[in-house]
Amino acid sequence: MSEILHAVKGMNDVLPETAEAFLSTAVWDKVIDTARRVIEGYGYRQVLIPIVEETALFARGIGEGTDIVSKEMYTFSDRGERSLTLRPEGTAGCVRAFIEHGFAKTDPVQKWWYIGPMFRAERPQKGRYRQFYQIGAELYGASDPAADAEVIVMMWRICQALGLKDVTPRVNTLGDKESRDRYRDVLRGYMRANVDTLCDACKARIETNPLRFLDCKNPACKEVARKAPDIMESLSAQSRAHFDKVTTYLRDCGLAYVRDAALVRGLDYYSETTFELTTSALGAQDAVGGGGRYDGLIEELGGTPTPAIGFAMGVERLALLVAATQQVASGPHLFIAPMAGAESFALQLADAVRTGGPYRVEVDVTGRKLKGQMRRADKVGARFALVLGEDEIARRHGNLKDLRVSSTSDVALTGDAICAALAKLIA
């Protein structure tokens, strides 16, 4: 016997039937379809960009000193000895495409969204995988605080449309470069004064990246960070005014956000507004999505300076939240069970129903006995069943059987009549 091969650790299959509900196609369809509907409602259009990019794009875009670039990238040499990387996130690739196709000159206001797999060699655990999917959106060419507020509200609306209750929007500002430089110095002073309490990583961060100390998970660092000086006191008048407007607009839109002074995020390109949606339902991996403004990135990667803001949400984490609280139906609305001799009629009737309405219709084409067909109707989670025998075909009438409550209703055997009956019964 040959050895069975397994999926790579931290990489999942999403299947029609699985033991883990959050990896079922029905749940993913719900998450993706809902997000698409909400995001496109704000005027965003989908982009499809490559999964593989030159390593330099991520190194320069995300930052050499970040965890993602220094420890987590899947980097390899291709056959031409070029260094390529499986994308760890979507923003850098979108920015590369924005620059490469010259949008800054033709029409810098672009609203893009994407879905696709990202790759990070992190330690797998619940809600954290090595291949995971992100749904993200990027808005280019808008520097007004209204853009920040709209993007945050949009991300929140996706959760609402998915029926998620336990999600908290958190917002913060990292200010402009001048504010951040000033704050880094203040923070360095504070960290040096508490250096004995800090973990080794944070000791190193005093010089390299003091902001990341604020979201260190080490309990001792957390305690020190809680009393750290707030960036608010280091903000320039402009950054302060920007953030005040963003939060005012959020309140006006009815968003109950929390200001989180420790929300610095793990990627180097952010400036001004940062935000995250968190939940208490996923344990350690509590971020459902996050994003921020990155006004400097396009210029950093060689493009015409263009303001930008965006976010990404984790599909697995959204799916975990949906699967924990909801039954997501994916079976056919109607299962047609033809007796011997009724097959051709069944195929035609099923087609007429599919043409007449938005229904999933399955005909049992196995040729087995009625009992076996009804077992399959149950197994695939059909909502209604219709048995077709000689008698039904002669009368042009049949019984639509509701498999959830075992009631039946008489229906004429035409596509229109069945669609009308389904519309009434499913509503």
Q: Can you give the binding site for ligand AMP, defined by CB under 6 A?
A: 89, 120, 122, 128-129, 132, 134, 266, 287-290, 312-314, 316-317
Comparing CB distances to ligand AMP, the nearer of 108 and 136 is: 136
CA nearest neighbour of 417 among 355, 354, 353: 353
Q: How many CB atoms lie within 10 A of CB 146?
A: 12
Comparing CB distances to ligand AMP, the nearer of 301 and 318 is: 318
Comparing CB distances to ligand AMP, the nearer of 283 and 305 is: 283
Q: What does the DSSP 8-state code read for residue 310?
A: E
CB of 265 to ligand AMP, least distance (A): 6
Comparing CB distances to ligand AMP, the nearer of 120 and 170 is: 120
CB of 314 to ligand AMP, least distance (A): 2
389 CB-near residues (< 8 Å, 6+ apart): 339, 342
What is the Cα–Cα distance from 317 to 330, expressed in whole angstroms?
A: 20
CB of 161 to ligand AMP, least distance (A): 17
CB of 288 to ligand AMP, least distance (A): 5
What is the Cα–Cα distance from 136 to 314, expressed in whole angstroms?
A: 9
Cα 391 to Cα 336, 387, 398, 403, 426, distances in angstroms: 15, 10, 9, 22, 27
Pairing of strands 361-363, 334-338: parallel
Tokens, residue 288: 């459902």
Tokens, residue 4: 């069975």
CB of 321 to ligand AMP, least distance (A): 10
Pairing of strands 83-86, 74-77: antiparallel
Comparing CB distances to ligand AMP, the nearer of 97 and 361 is: 97
Residue with the shortest CB distance to ligand AMP: 314
Q: What does the DSSP 8-state code read for residue 71?
A: I
Tokens, residue 328: 């997501």
Comparing CB distances to ligand AMP, the nearer of 288 and 413 is: 288
CB of 308 to ligand AMP, least distance (A): 15
